Amino acid sequence: MGRAYGAWAARRNVASADMLKVFALVRQRLIDAAIGLVQAENLEPRAVHGLVVAMEDLTQGVEIGLLEAILPSGHSMARAT
């Protein structure tokens, strides 16, 4: 998903910094919405923990794919970590 987003933005000449900023906003809104379930639905915080963890994993995967899409050819985040 991140690589597709990066490729889409590159075809439209969107700056990589702008792509990361926008996705950071989306990521925060997703996490805020999950946390908001605790208050809106009177859920126990532990009940939402799994959802937040899954969203973190998904959004981190998208960010890594996005970074890989904008890195020079032949580079990988897997090697950078």
pTM of the entire structure?
A: 0.65
Instruction: Give the CA angle between residues 60, 47, 31 to the nearest 5°.
Output: 30
Q: Are the C-beta atoms of residues 66 and 5 closer than 8 Å to each other?
A: yes
Which pLDDT tens digit goes with each residue over 1-19? 777 877 887 788 888 788 8
Dihedral pair phi/psi, residue 33, rounded to 5°: -65, -40
Q: Is the dihedral of CA 68, 73, 76, 80 positive or negative?
A: negative
In terms of pLDDT, which residue wins out, 75 or 40?
40
Which pLDDT tens digit goes with each residue over 22-59? 888 988 898 888 778 777 877 777 777 888 888 888 88
